[in-house]
Structure 1
Amino acid sequence: MKLNVLHPTIALALALLTVTGCGPRRQMPKAEPPDVTVAPAIKRQVVDFSEYTGHIEAVSSVDVYAKVSGYLEKVAFEDGAFVKKGQLLFEIDKRTYQAEYDQAVSQKALYVAKNELAQATLARNKKLVGSGAVSQELFDESVASANEAVAQVNAAVSEIAARKVDLDYCTIYSAIDGRIDRTYVTDGNLIQSGVGAPTLLTTIVSVDPVYAYFDVDELALLNYMRQHQSEVDPNSEVTLRSLKLPVQIFLADGSEYPQLGTIDFGSNQVSAGSGTLTVRAVVPNKNGALRPGLFVRVKVAANAPYEAVLVPESAIGADQSDRYVYVLDKDNKAQRRSVQLGTKHGPLRVIKEGLAAGEKVIVNGLLVVRPDKPVVPTESTMPEPPPINETVLRSVTKNEKPMSGTTPQQPANRPNQPPSPMPQ
């Protein structure tokens, strides 16, 4: 009986399913082409820079020690001040050394008096020895006494000079112009000198100029020498000092130091372990902004200016195989193009291969683009790379100081742009 009751219900459900299944299928909405921004790739003159990590050192550095022992009486400078060569720094209690000097002066006076007596006795005996009034033995004794008196006077003079040196050492002056550190010893302390554990009083470092030391790999070194070979006599030895390569200095916060340095020294051998050569640049530091010990970034022009195709970093995609950009074809479809990247210049990147100047590149909306699919482009323009600083491209000529101005020169094929910092 239950089967007869349920049968009409099952039949109705089957009928509804049949009617629904036979109706028209619902289609998914068609995807609209994504909106993107495109801009033509530009060709500009650029310069590649090699960048190194370096540190600042003072040209001259002096550790101030006392050459005599005694109690410190006076500190005559302010901690961290700039001092001049010959400026008074410390005074040590000189009473003991003054007494020793005065004693040496008195001793000389005594020996001078003895010498005068000995010389007078010798002169008298020299006249009497011929007549027999003075024996030869007595005459010989007077000669020896006169010579001894002269030697005593000379010894007294030397002793006075030695005591004068000790007395002068009680007053300590600056050996160089520079910035002084704090005093490590305060008034009233006993200062020790000599071998063992002498007392370090303070340190002084020169300020202007300073050295920037950094390590250059051997391939870059050979490239620099080859690049500038034409600027020197081909028959002469090529050294880093003779090339006078200008360098740019960047501080730890990324700011550019306003004055250029000049390479003046390279180590006499390349490290076999690291394949690098230690190089030194002289950097003007008139305002004292560069302190010894600072870490800096040093940039050196790696080659001459050249024409390059550039696109923004945002236009470059990457996968496990290569780097690529999307180029817009005549049908507004995105075509994937594998490219070989070069150096970075401001917001732009050099494209060595795979792209020509003037081709429209998708610079915004890269993530929603699919190869060979249409897009809705919005025209835009490429940003400009930073202007080339001409002063870092050439060697500084003989007797010419490193140039402190960084007025950039606009290349011929680049529209006028306001000066901007060099690429970071």
Structure 2
Amino acid sequence: MLPRRFRPAAAASVLFSLLLAGCGESQPNAQAVAPPAPKVTVAKPVKKLVSDFDEYVGRFVAYDFVEVRSRVSGYLDKIHFTDGQMIKEGDDLFTIDRRPFEAALAQAKAAREQAEANLAFAESDLKRGESLIRGTTITQQTLDQRTQAKRVAEASVTAQEAAQRQAELDLQFTELKAPISGRIGDRRVSVGNLVTGGTAGNTTLLATVVSVDPIRFEFTMDEASYLRYLRAATEAAATSSNRGMSLPVKLKLIDERDFVHEGKIDFVDNAIDRSSGTIRGRAEFRNPDGKLTPGMFGRIQIAVSKPAVALLVPDSAIGTEQVRKFVYAVSPDDVANPKYVTLGSVVDGMRVITDGLDSDDTVVVNGLMRVRPGTKVSPQQATASNGDGKGTVVGTN
């Protein structure tokens, strides 16, 4: 039997031994409840035909823009349109008071008739003089005077004919018709006001008309891009107005997500701006519904290469390690390892991978935060494409 002073120490020793035994027995149970492999969603990269492109911001301009001004002065009598309506070439727009010009035309006709009567008399008088015997019945001086009178009468008739044509034109100019088809703005002058016409700079602006279909889109490109386009164009095409830039272009408005408007480049300027190092380009687009309006902003895509097959993955499959981008590729034994990739742009909601990924790789597209390099995962197959995956021609930059 132990002395009394050793009994507490012995009890503590026995308790410590029991605790060690308990810990040793619980270790196998801990291994049995190890966490399972994380579940992730995997898919193959999507193959699509894509084409490299550049994007520029620009503004729409009207194909034709006309300021409606009168060629004659007078009081405005009628307005034949509603502000902002669509008009066709030749439609009546304004009418200037015609009465003064009708009177001027009648006066010009009367003056012409008088000149023609004088000419008829001069011709008959000359004919009578030519039938007389020169030197005895009529002098040569008298005959010359009658010849001169006939020529003066002919000139007077010509002048009065010109005056009559001018009066007829002035009368026609009182009816202002649409010079082009398009959309007219608001009236700038009300009925009853005096309209100043003519060719001077102080003529009265009555309205403006802009063409609607087609419409042009102007933008500026940098010098490097311009040179790249020229090298891609053939020598024969480079002499055309668009410098051979016959590549397709697409456009989207500020409230649109996709480039849905298709057009073509029809003009490139003849000089590069010294201050900005850019050159002006212009594209033409169809606008049958009139939605595209002059002055509106938009973003244009210019294809710079022929379509080629590229690999696309969702943005959710891409991870970041400092400045490098990577995706997790799952091996046949369900082990995830990172593959560093080079990114293109977003196409149809997916990211183009330009380098670092193979078409037969299986990529983690959902559950990226649950994966660690070299860990085993529990993959579930899914479709990485959010489109049809049939190889639609799209663009990347």
Range into which the TM-score falls when normalised by the shorter chain = 0.7 to 0.9
For 1:256 and 1:362, locate their aligned partners in 2 and report how far apart those are by CA, in whole Å: 27
For 1:142 and 1:260, locate their aligned partners in 2 and report how far apart those are by CA, in whole Å: 75
Closer, same or farther: CA 183–129 of 1 in aligned 2, 3 Å: farther
- Where does residue 44 of structure 1 map in the other structure? 47
- Where does residue 156 of structure 1 map in the other structure? 160
- Where does residue 381 of structure 2 map in the other structure? 380
> Conserved in 2, the CA contact under 8 Å of 1:49 and 1:299?
yes
Tell me the alpha carbon deviations over residues 300-355 of structure 1, each in whole angstroms, 9 at most, x when there is no partner. 33322333333211122235432233344577565343322123222221223333
**1:157 offset after TM fit, Å?**
0.9
**1:275 offset after TM fit, Å?**
4.1
Instruction: Give the secondary-structure state (helix, strand or coil) at the position aligned to 1:196.
Output: coil
For 2:256 and 2:396, locate their aligned partners in 1 and report how far apart those are by CA, in whole Å: 10
For 1:420 and 1:264, locate their aligned partners in 2 and report how far apart those are by CA, in whole Å: 23
Question: How many residues of Structure 1 are paired with residues of Structure 2 in the alignment?
Answer: 371
- Where does residue 207 of structure 1 map in the other structure? 212
> Conserved in 2, the CA contact under 8 Å of 1:71 and 1:92?
yes
Closer, same or farther: CA 36–191 of 1 in aligned 2, 3 Å: farther
For 1:387 and 1:202, locate their aligned partners in 2 and report how far apart those are by CA, in whole Å: 50
> Conserved in 1, the CA contact under 8 Å of 2:112 and 2:161?
yes
For 2:70 and 2:238, locate their aligned partners in 1 and report how far apart those are by CA, in whole Å: 45
Tell me the alpha carbon deviations over residues 167-198 of structure 1, each in whole angstroms, 9 at most, x when there is no partner. 11111111122222222212111111231321
> Conserved in 2, the CA contact under 8 Å of 1:41 and 1:309?
no
> Conserved in 1, the CA contact under 8 Å of 2:77 and 2:95?
yes
Closer, same or farther: CA 255–64 of 1 in aligned 2, 3 Å: farther
Indicate the RMSD between aligned Cα atoms, in angstroms. Answer: 3.5
**Is 2:217 aligned against 1:216?**
no
**1:241 offset after TM fit, Å?**
6.6
Q: Which moved more, 1:378-387 or 1:60-69?
A: 378-387
Closer, same or farther: CA 337–421 of 1 in aligned 2, 3 Å: closer
What's the TM-score, normalizing by structure 2?
0.80
> Conserved in 1, the CA contact under 8 Å of 2:41 and 2:367?
no
For 1:346 and 1:330, locate their aligned partners in 2 and report how far apart those are by CA, in whole Å: 29
- Where does residue 3 of structure 1 map in the other structure? none
With CA pairs under 8 Å and 6+ residues apart, which has the higher RCO, 1 or 2? 2
For 1:244 and 1:46, locate their aligned partners in 2 and report how far apart those are by CA, in whole Å: 20
> Conserved in 1, the CA contact under 8 Å of 2:187 and 2:207?
yes
Long gaps (5+) in structure 2: 1-14, 24-29
Closer, same or farther: CA 420–151 of 1 in aligned 2, 3 Å: closer
**1:225 offset after TM fit, Å?**
5.0
For 2:39 and 2:396, locate their aligned partners in 1 and report how far apart those are by CA, in whole Å: 27
> Conserved in 2, the CA contact under 8 Å of 1:55 and 1:293?
yes
Long gaps (5+) in structure 1: 1-18, 389-409, 412-418
**1:94 offset after TM fit, Å?**
1.6
**1:269 offset after TM fit, Å?**
3.2
For 1:352 and 1:302, locate their aligned partners in 2 and report how far apart those are by CA, in whole Å: 16
Q: In structure 1, what residue type is equivalent to 2:154? A: V
- Where does residue 147 of structure 2 map in the other structure? 143
- Where does residue 96 of structure 2 map in the other structure? 92
Alignment of 1:10-409 (within 5 A): 35-47=38-50, 48-128=52-132, 130-194=134-198, 195-224=200-229, 226-227=231-232, 229=234, 237=238, 239=240, 240=242, 244-254=246-256, 260-328=262-330, 334-372=336-374, 374=375, 376-384=377-385, 386=387
Closer, same or farther: CA 64–387 of 1 in aligned 2, 3 Å: farther
